[in-house]
Structure 1
């Protein structure tokens, strides 16, 4: 009973993924699928420090704010 439905679903999923890979791949250039530029190492380092630093400093800044409130 579920076999034809499973077969159709499997074939549809395979077709969707094949089309996605065909239409969104541009030849395997490293870093092409990233939302930021990796060619400038200094800019990348700065972005990483800001991104990771904001996540790590957030709880401490929030705690400091709560402790300094009157």
Structure 2
């Protein structure tokens, strides 16, 4: 009895969540940057992730060169 109530609630909740949230837009529409130019997006991704990856090595180099 309780299991069927929980199952019923879960089914209704997911159905209503899909109904409310599924706007059916185009991919990338909700991103804070444009993905129309793939070369620009690639360069931005390389800069963003490359800076995060390079930061520890640059800090280490700076610390090792200090006197």
| TM-score (norm. length: structure 1) | 0.61
In structure 2, runs of 5+ residues without a counterpart are 1-18
Deviating beyond 6 angstroms after TM superposition, the runs of 4 or more aligned structure 1 residues are none
Aligned match of 1:31: 28
Q: What is the CA-CA distance between 1:60 and the residue it aligns to?
A: 0.1
In structure 1, runs of 5+ residues without a counterpart are 1-21
Q: What is the CA-CA distance between 1:63 and the residue it aligns to?
A: 0.2
Aligned match of 2:57: 60
Distance 1:29 1:63 in 2: 43
Count of residue pairs the alignment pairs up? 67
Aligned match of 2:16: none
| TM-score (norm. length: structure 2) | 0.64
Q: What is the CA-CA distance between 1:27 and the residue it aligns to?
A: 3.8
